[in-house]
Chain A
Amino acid sequence: MSFISKPRVPVSKLPKNELGLTTREYEGSMSTLCAGCGHDSITAALIQAFWELNVEPHQVVKMSGIGCSSKTTAYFLGDAHGINAVHGRMPSVATGANSADRDLYYVGVSGDGDSLSIGLGQFAHALRRNLNMLYVIENNGVYGLTKGQFSASADVGSKAKKGEVNQQPPIDPVITAMAMGGSFVARSFSGDKEQLVPLLKAGIMHRGFALVDVLSPCVTFNDHEDSTKSYAHTRQFYHPAVHADFVASKKPIRTAYNEGEVMPVELHDGSTVLLRKVSKDYDPANRAKAYSYLHDHQKKGEIVTGLLYIDEGQRDMHEVSNTVPTPLRDLAYQDLTPGAKKLAEIQDRYR
């Protein structure tokens, strides 16, 4: 719960970004999640990502649904508007917000219940629209706020705290996004900030729907032995396939990589993502190959992570809709009304 106010104490030693802001100014209210919750690490990574990108906090719009994960939008960027919509329906609210103003940054935080059960339809259709937003799923395989039921991302055989064993196959958001035509598909782990922060940065700057599925263990209900979403299990089967470095547009790209193993992908704003293959036979630009790689490794019980697929060429919702570059909400009324003479003329058609 976000009613605990957090005093902003200036800490002089903290480094400042190009806007002269420290990470403190990218924080929000105090987290009320359980101590050790993976979600808090993701919140910290988001703070780091926006700070490093030099984005003005109030230029960001935070979207979420209902659940533990959805509460976290209150815990970062206190100077940004946030909306905690109804359960599983954040993608539609984000679609509307984005249609009104295409210039702001949209970041959605959701969970496996919010996106893969009640909200699977909206999640899929936001993907299909290629809505320009960063969409983070804080994935822990369990319903926390209602105390420990399996979610749709729980693996077959995974055991609940009270001993029940999950029998139903999981819905994997990454494989789903690949199949639905997602233009940016990534997976990471709340315990790997080094991997996560560049992925979030690339996702924020990607024009289109950037899915980052982050395994984020629930310390209270799903971190025990025989759970496949625990810290220990995730660390053991963690399989980074691609490493992504994010290079902001102003910095020259250093060529400290071996030709052939690194793939630079230029984003719309001129910044670049450098993809370094960790696994030689992985191709993050080939949907079919990436898909089958994910599938094969999932069968083996491995958790493939990294920027798994990216296509900067896909048109986002506004490009498909052919909307004017000016945010629709900023159009003056004179620009929108056809006027009295036109109304008379239109009505004459119905004589």
Chain B
Amino acid sequence: MTSRVNDFVVKIANVNGTGSASANGLLMKAIFRMGIPVVGKNFFPSNIQGLPTWFEIRVSKEGYLSRSGKVDLMVAMNAQTYAKDLAEVAPGGYLLYDSTWPRDKQLAREDVTLLGVPLAELVNKEFENIRARILMKNVCYLGVLAALLDIDMQVIEELLKETFADKQKLVAGNLKAIELGYYYAKEHFQCPLPLRLEKMDATKGHIMVDGNTMAGLGCVYAGATVGAWYPITPSTSLMDAFKEFCEELRVDPETGKNKYCIVQAEDELAAIGIVLGAAWNGARAFTPTSGPGISLMNEFIGFGYYAEIPAVIFDVQRVGPSTGMPTRTQQADLMLAAYASHGDTRHVLLFPADPAECFELAVKAFDLAERLQTPVLVLSDLDIGMNDWMVPKLKWDERYQPDRGKVYTREQLKEMQVFHRYTDADGDGIPYRTLPGVHPKGAYFVRGSGHNRRGGYTEDAAEYQDVLDRLTTKYHTAKTLVPLPVVKQKKGVKTAIVSLGSCDGAVREALDILNRQGTEVNYLRVRAFPFGKEVEDFLDRHERIFVVEQNRDAQLKSLLLIETQVDRDKLHSILHYSGMPIDCRCIVDGVTQALAKGAAA
């Protein structure tokens, strides 16, 4: 094998509940600290202990953030999946396995180099405690990899000390296990392998973080004070993060009292009810959930839309339909979210592409929800929410002030003759609202039943339609307020990709590959629904548009067809919906094949 410096994939196959996550996280972080761009994907089961789990680490000197679609070095720690894991290794690759026990004869491939290390034996000699033996076996392969890949041992030691800052006595044991593996590898194999690491300086100014953590932090910076939720994978860690940040940053130092209120609700119906109640009463409130939660929240989302109450909902999408695969990723809630609830409803959606955007768009979601007085849904996914991504460090603009939208103050109300809740005073479809308890003149009655512009109950056709039409005006206003798409384009190029969210990394890599093959393709990533003029113009300018998304039914394409003027024949779908994060190969293949077919025809 020719030397492959800083450009390969290591995949670790393990059994969940054995502490492998922390060993794998440490490995990835060590590479990151060596200044080498790296990305990690955790493929874990919906289970606590005993089922197969994989962690895939891609080292990419180019800084590509998606999966490469192949594995160069497999660490096969799980007998249940040996055969499948071996099959996945790319020709010329390596497989590291525990050679303590005799190897299954099936475990062989001529084009894969097997590296046997008696991990259990090494560890069992050194450690007495049974749990420690299980944990240390994982730490031990870290040592083997350190030798094979040339990981800086000093960095590993540093990381161990930080990880066990409160339990220093664990450092020695972990270090011992690492050394066992390290020296065994040095002695028995030619180290380093042709796949190896070399220090770079490409991670400066970056962090490794997951999207749920950043979304939770975004809620803190947005000034959210009320969070309501019902636990559901993969959104749970968002509220965990919010809670942890609040415990650190939002407790009055003098009184020890909390400047936030988190309610773990009885279900998602209650969670969104709490959010609407709090936001109606003037607090910034949010709920994190996933697809099944959105299904349950539908009725209330329609209420929020029609009664015009702000709400921020995070949908960390997982695989559907129904319970689906709770620990796998997809982008299949687009249609559900865009038109959630019965009746004529259309909602504002935001699509972050990575953890940094989870932070930015979390803040933006609160501003939009209050400006537009409507529920705003932030659609990330399991891949963004739960995996660590390398993203540029964010800067906070100290001048930021929350946009609380059109809310009459006590003074304004005092001067007023009469207040009507649902009139379009400014022509943008957004009415003025008042908060309870502020002034008697501000009082009005919120209802999900038919109401007129004054807020009164109505069954009158014209009065009802008047309000519904204003909501359409508001929808058009939303188009001018939502985040702009991200565009990468060259003049004159007529072929383009339109995509969203976590497809971004794979699309960008595919664009480079296509470019090297002589195919120039422009790119637009939508960041919000409804689509604004920029999206419409981009669609107009291109003749052939590939819509890349992670669902079966081409939901983004459907939204584009419904909500823009685009010519149906221009749009071609590239779909990926296996539950694994998309890789660039399916995009490159999809575009190449379609273009070849077009040329032939």
A-side interface residues toward B, CB under 8 Å?
1-3, 57-59, 61, 73-74, 78-86, 89, 91-101, 103-104, 121-122, 124-125, 129, 317-318, 321-325, 328-329, 331, 333, 335-340, 342-344, 346-348, 350-351
Contact = CB atoms under 8 A, between A and B. Distances in A.
Interface residues of B, number: 77
Given A58-B443, A84-B445, A323 B281 contact: no
Given A97-B436, A104-B437, A351-B208, A336 B259 contact: yes
Interface of A is mostly: helix
B397 A340 contact: yes
A156 B213 CA distance: 53
Given A338-B220, A346-B217, A95 B396 contact: no
Interface stretch (B269-277, B372-380, B555-563): B269-277
A328 B283 contact: yes
Contacts of A321: 258, 261-263
A96 B282 contact: no
B259 A3 contact: no
Interface string B220-232: 1101011010000
B396 A122 contact: no
Nearest to A58: B440
A83 B280 contact: yes
A92 B304 CA distance: 14
Interface stretch (B97-105, B106-114, B249-257): B249-257
B474 to A, nearest CB: 20
Contacts of A348: 207
B221 A125 contact: no
Given A96-B274, A350-B209, A343 B396 contact: yes
Contact of B263 (A3, A85, A99, A103): A99
B201 to A, nearest CB: 14
26 contacts: A3-B457, A58-B436, A58-B437, A74-B445, A83-B277, A84-B446, A93-B276, A96-B276, A96-B280, A97-B277, A99-B261, A99-B285, A100-B283, A101-B283, A104-B437, A328-B260, A328-B283, A329-B281, A329-B283, A331-B225, A337-B221, A338-B220, A338-B221, A344-B393, A347-B393, A351-B207
A80 B260 contact: no
A124 to B, nearest CB: 8
Contacts of B439: 58
B300 A125 contact: no
Interface string B227-250: 010000000000000000100011
A297 to B, nearest CB: 31
A80 B434 CA distance: 11
Nearest to A93: B277
Contacts of B307: 83
A125 B269 contact: no
Interface string B414-453: 0000000000000000000011111110111111110000
B278 interface: yes
Given A86-B299, A86-B448, A321-B258, A61 B274 contact: no
Nearest to B437: A104
B324 to A, nearest CB: 24
A63 B283 CA distance: 17
B273 A347 contact: no
Nearest to A80: B443
B395 interface: yes
A322 B258 contact: yes
Contact of B208 (A3, A338, A350): A350
B266 interface: yes
Contacts of B397: 340
B370 to A, nearest CB: 12
Of the candidates A79, A328, A344, the one having the most CB atoms from chain B within 10 angstroms of its own CB is A328
Contacts of A322: 256-258
Contacts of A78: 443
B258 A323 contact: yes
